[in-house]
């Protein structure tokens, strides 16, 4: 039965609308089934939570309702998967790291020129689908120091499932990111497929 489910999932992913960042292209099939299924499952839970949001009169009120709804979506403790939400200006309304809420996508990706603009433009044009890219640095400063001191390579593939939603007069992008760290020696191992 699991084989049939995996074949169905692979077929769905193969026909899904996806785009990769041209500077660090990653094919959607490079991701393990566990990561892809985890992203899809969390996206489904987020969609269910967001449908409960009532239309409010102000952007701030809607953003607060979206944040409250998404904060109730259970985290995936078995995979490296994050649920985020941006408003139409590219400001984080929801993020698993509270310090990022209220900051812009551009401010979080300022070391990669054009990346935030590419993400926002792609989301606006396609409204739903998947984005993929590769990072060559860690977002964890302690890990970054350890990797640098040990002269090791770091590479993380990211797949982001997204949907642009209109609630009242407000637009939000709900995104679920799944991450897989590539083998760089004894510090990490490939995520099982």
Residue range 134-165, pLDDT digits in tens: 887 655 666 667 767 777 666 788 999 999 98
Q: Look up the pTM and report it.
A: 0.75
pLDDT score, position 188:
40
pLDDT score, position 7:
47
**Residue 193 placed within a domain:** no
- Segments in the chain below pLDDT 70: 1-16, 51-59, 61, 76-79, 137-144, 147, 152-154, 182-193
Q: Give me the domain span that covers residue 45.
A: 2-181
Structural domain tally of the chain?
A: 1
Domain harbouring 151, CATH code? 3.30.450.20
Task: State pLDDT tens for residues 107-121.
Answer: 988 878 899 999 999
**Residue 137 placed within a domain:** yes
The helix (H) or strand (E) run that includes residue 176 is: strand 170-181
The helix (H) or strand (E) run that includes residue 94 is: strand 92-94
**Residue 186 placed within a domain:** no
pLDDT score, position 112:
84
């Amino acid at each position: 039965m699991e084989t049939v489910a995996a074949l169905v999932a692979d077929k769905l992913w193969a026909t899904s609308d996806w785009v990769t960042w041209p500077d660090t292209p990653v094919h959607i099939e490079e991701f393990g089934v566990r990561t892809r299924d985890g992203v899809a499952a969390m996206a489904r839970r987020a969609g269910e939570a967001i449908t409960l949001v009532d239309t409010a009169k102000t952007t701030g009120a809607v953003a607060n309702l979206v944040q409250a709804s998404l904060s109730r979506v259970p985290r995936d403790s078995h995979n490296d998967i994050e649920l985020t939400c941006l408003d139409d200006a590219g400001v984080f309304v929801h993020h698993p790291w509270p310090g990022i809420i209220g900051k812009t996508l551009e401010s979080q990706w300022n070391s990669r020129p054009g990346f935030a603009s590419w993400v926002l433009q792609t989301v606006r044009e396609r409204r739903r689908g998947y984005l993929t890219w590769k990072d060559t640095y860690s977002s964890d400063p302690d890990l970054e120091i350890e990797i640098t001191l040990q002269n090791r390579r770091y590479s993380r593939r990211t797949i982001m499932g997204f949907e642009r939603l209109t609630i009242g007069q407000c637009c939000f992008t709900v995104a679920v990111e799944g991450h897989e760290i590539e083998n760089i020696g004894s510090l990490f191992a490939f995520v099982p497929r």
